[in-house]
């Protein structure tokens, strides 16, 4: 210990103790900065895990396990964190709007099918973003009839909401039809996003769209997608039941069950109206504002009597779990703009890999039939494994059905059918009324779930950061689409494949010779240079990073609540 006193710009030592007043511990020397070092091999592990979306704390824990204890590591978790922050900065640049603009311009330069658009305010500050790669645009042609839109999943460092457009493929898997980042959730923002979506998808609106209960979204869809059927997500609605009705004494003694019966067990409009009126009268819920607003918009959310299956085989619970699993481990909160897009691409590539694996299983594994029905055999041949399993469940149910003839009017017959319906782990008996026309009894089905359809989007590489030439505008896109159509048929046999190669080589040599002749007679000083159209990514002006968006409601507090506060909250909740 040393004590010093400053007198007239000089330091006077007043006390000196040369002996240590604490014991030295060599095991703690690793805490000193001079003794801490992250080796190159550890840096490679950290870089690899970070690119794979593995959280830093998990990477550090694996290193601890590998050396059998914290005391055997020559560095701390903070050192790993500092290294990863520096590595990300070098890899991604500043990560703001300017970095993202450069990224989009590079992608458009290397691939004409890449679409990106930035919405700026008067000061040149970023407000909203939308981007789509060529594969996702091609996927929309096959699975864009039913789309869900939800902004409740993620936000980035600036508080911008992640707004994905999601569909379902022929394996029943959720697929990204691309997405955007938006700074607010009002009518003006949604109008920009939906109009940009239409522009990207060549003006083709979805047949149906499912959203949450948001007035701005509803108004925008009615304006931008006037021919699209809009439905509210039943999962979002039912998630609020306990919040809106949990304070009623009868909530657990029949109220919730009766509400579910109105939603799921009614088959006609008249049956629903009767069940709903009885539910309201039984529990005296005439003045409940939430139920009144729901009933006013029931044509947008009651799926049973509308005879429309808008989520294409995936329940709302499965949908939510699927989307949460989609981003888990890949897209993290509070990232910068460029990093968010990179992590999104990693998640998208993982989904593509899952689809490729499901495609392989559908052609390499055969699920045996449970009956001798030729109809089931036909579905086995044509449908993907995931969808054939759903067909089999219906076949098994049909085997136990015992229909009763109710009425017969010439060629028209009506039957009463009792069936046991299974919803996840629950089952219940449901009675159906079926009308059958004896003369016009042809069965028709969609090709949506078939595995033998050659879908063009599978030919498009998901890694669109490739190639080194800028194509010449729309001519490239038109010819590329025509080539995809030719390739679909040219790969069916070896003879067609060889013929297509020879024809392409002949055309290439012909056009190459013409290009050489033109270059000999062309004396323009600018020959060989190309211009880049940057209007799709907000022009050539420098884009400023967005302001941090203020979230809805009070921000979450990091302070730990006392026991008294916790008890008060429980009482208020009751």
Position 227 pLDDT exceeds 80? yes
Quote the DSSP letter at residue 32: S
Q: How long is the chain?
A: 574
Boundaries of domain holding 390: 374-443
CB 178 within 8 A of CB 185: no
Quote the DSSP letter at residue 574: -
pTM of the entire predicted model: 0.61
Among 92, 115, 132, which residue terminates a domain?
A: 92
pLDDT of the residue at 470: 42
Query: Does residue 47 lie within any of the structural domains?
Result: yes
Among 256, 275, 300, which residue terminates a domain?
A: 300
353 vs 341: CA distance, rounded Å: 18
Position 19 pLDDT exceeds 60? yes
Please write the tens of the pLDDT for every residue from 153-164. 655 566 678 888
Please write the tens of the pLDDT for every residue from 417-442. 777 766 555 567 777 777 887 777 75
Query: Does residue 37 lie within any of the structural domains?
Result: yes
How confident is residue 60, by pLDDT bands cut at 50, 70 and 90? very high
- DSSP three-state, residue 367: coil
Query: Does residue 71 lie within any of the structural domains?
Result: yes
149 vs 165: CA distance, rounded Å: 5
How confident is residue 322, by pLDDT bands cut at 50, 70 and 90? very low
Query: Does residue 385 lie within any of the structural domains?
Result: yes
Query: Does residue 540 lie within any of the structural domains?
Result: no
Query: Does residue 509 lie within any of the structural domains?
Result: no
Mean pLDDT of the chain: 76
pLDDT of the residue at 195: 93
Element (H, E) at 211: strand 208-211
Query: Does residue 142 lie within any of the structural domains?
Result: no
Quote the DSSP letter at residue 273: H
Nearest to 76 by CA among 90, 62, 64: 64
- State the distance between the two ends of the chain, measured CA to CA, in whole angstroms: 60
* CB neighbours of residue 80 within 10 Å: 22
Among 92, 123, 153, which residue terminates a domain?
A: 92
Number of domains in the chain: 3
Position 475 pLDDT exceeds 70? no
Nearest to 231 by CA among 156, 170, 316, 320: 316
pLDDT of the residue at 278: 92
Position 205 pLDDT exceeds 50? yes
pLDDT of the residue at 555: 45
Q: What is the average per-residue pLDDT within 505-513?
A: 86
In the β-sheet with 404-409, what is the strand arrangement from edge to edge? 404-409, 412-423, 426-437
State CA 168 to chain mean position distance.
11
State CA 344 to chain mean position distance.
9
Query: Does residue 50 lie within any of the structural domains?
Result: yes
CB 249 within 8 A of CB 186: no
Position 53 pLDDT exceeds 50? yes
Nearest to 549 by CA among 229, 194, 86, 181: 181
Position 525 pLDDT exceeds 80? no
* CB neighbours of residue 392 within 10 Å: 19
- The residues, ordered by sequence, that sit 6+ positions from 498 with a Cβ below 8 Å of its Cβ are none
6 shares a domain with 88: yes
pLDDT of the residue at 279: 92
pLDDT of the residue at 556: 45
Cβ-count burial 308-322 (b if 16+ within 10 Å, e if not):
eebbbebebebbbeb
226 vs 195: CA distance, rounded Å: 12
Please write the tens of the pLDDT for every residue from 367-410. 999 888 888 999 998 999 998 998 888 888 777 777 778 888 87
Q: What is the average per-residue pLDDT within 481-507?
A: 84
Q: What is the average per-residue pLDDT within 16-42?
A: 80
């Amino acid at each position: 210990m040393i004590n010093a006193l400053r007198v007239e710009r000089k330091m006077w030592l007043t006390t000196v103790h040369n002996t240590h007043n604490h014991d030295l511990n060599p095991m703690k020397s690793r805490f000193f900065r001079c003794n801490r070092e992250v080796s190159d091999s550890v840096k490679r592990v950290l870089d690899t895990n970070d690119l794979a979306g593995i959280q830093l704390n998990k990477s550090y824990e694996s290193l601890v396990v590998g050396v059998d204890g914290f005391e055997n590591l020559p560095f701390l978790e903070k050192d790993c964190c500092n290294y990863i922050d520096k590595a990300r900065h070098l890899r991604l640049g500043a990560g703001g709007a300017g970095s993202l603009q450069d990224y989009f311009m590079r992608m458009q330069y290397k691939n004409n099918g890449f679409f990106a658009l930035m919405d700026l305010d008067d000061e040149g500050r970023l407000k909203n973003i939308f981007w789509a790669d060529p594969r996702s645009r091609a996927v929309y042609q096959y699975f864009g009839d039913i789309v869900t839109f939800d902004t409740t999943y993620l936000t980035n460092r600036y508080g911008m909401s992640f707004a994905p457009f999601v569909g379902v493929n022929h394996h029943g898997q959720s697929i990204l039809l691309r997405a955007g980042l938006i700074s607010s959730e009002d009518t003006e923002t949604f109008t920009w996003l939906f109009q940009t979506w239409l522009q990207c998808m060549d003006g083709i609106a979805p047949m149906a769209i499912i959203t949450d209960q948001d007035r701005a979204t509803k108004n925008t869809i009615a304006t931008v997608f006037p021919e699209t059927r809009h439905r509210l997500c039943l999962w979002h609605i039912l998630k609020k039941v306990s919040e809106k009705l949990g304070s009623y004494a009868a909530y657990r003694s029949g109220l919730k069950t009766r509400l579910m019966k109105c939603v799921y067990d009614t088959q006609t409009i008249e049956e629903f109206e009767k069940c709903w009126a009885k539910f309201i009268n039984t529990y005296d819920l005439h003045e409940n504002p939430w139920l009144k607003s729901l009933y006013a918009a029931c044509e947008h959310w009651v799926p049973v009597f509308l005879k429309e299956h808008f989520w294409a085989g995936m329940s709302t619970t499965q949908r939510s779990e699927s989307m949460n699993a989609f981003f888990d481990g890949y897209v993290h909160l509070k990232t910068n703009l460029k990093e968010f897009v990179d992590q999104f691409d990693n998640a998208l590539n993982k989904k593509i890999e899952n689809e490729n694996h499901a495609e392989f299983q559908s052609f390499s594994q055969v699920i045996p039939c449970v009956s001798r029905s030729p109809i089931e055999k036909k579905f086995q041949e044509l449908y993907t494994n995931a969808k054939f399993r759903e067909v089999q469940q219906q076949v098994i149910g049909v085997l136990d059905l015992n229909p009763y003839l109710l009425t017969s009017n010439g060629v028209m017959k009506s039957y009463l059918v009792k069936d046991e319906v299974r919803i996840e782990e629950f089952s219940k008996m449901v009675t159906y009324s079926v009308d059958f026309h004896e003369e016009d009894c042809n069965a028709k089905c969609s090709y949506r779930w078939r595995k033998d359809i050659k879908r063009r989007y599978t030919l498009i590489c998901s890694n669109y950061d490739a190639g080194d030439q800028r194509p010449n505008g729309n001519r490239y896109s038109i010819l590329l689409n025509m080539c995809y159509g030719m390739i679909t048929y040219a790969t069916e046999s070896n003879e067609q494949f060889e013929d297509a190669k020879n024809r392409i080589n002949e055309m290439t040599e012909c056009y190459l010779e013409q290009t050489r002749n033109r270059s000999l007679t062309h004396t323009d000083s600018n020959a060989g240079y190309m211009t880049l159209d940057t209007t799709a990514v907000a022009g050539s002006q420098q884009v400023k990073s967005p302001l941090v968006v203020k979230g809805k409601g009070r921000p979450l507090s990091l302070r730990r609540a006392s026991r008294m506060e916790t008890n008060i909250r429980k009482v208020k909740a009751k």
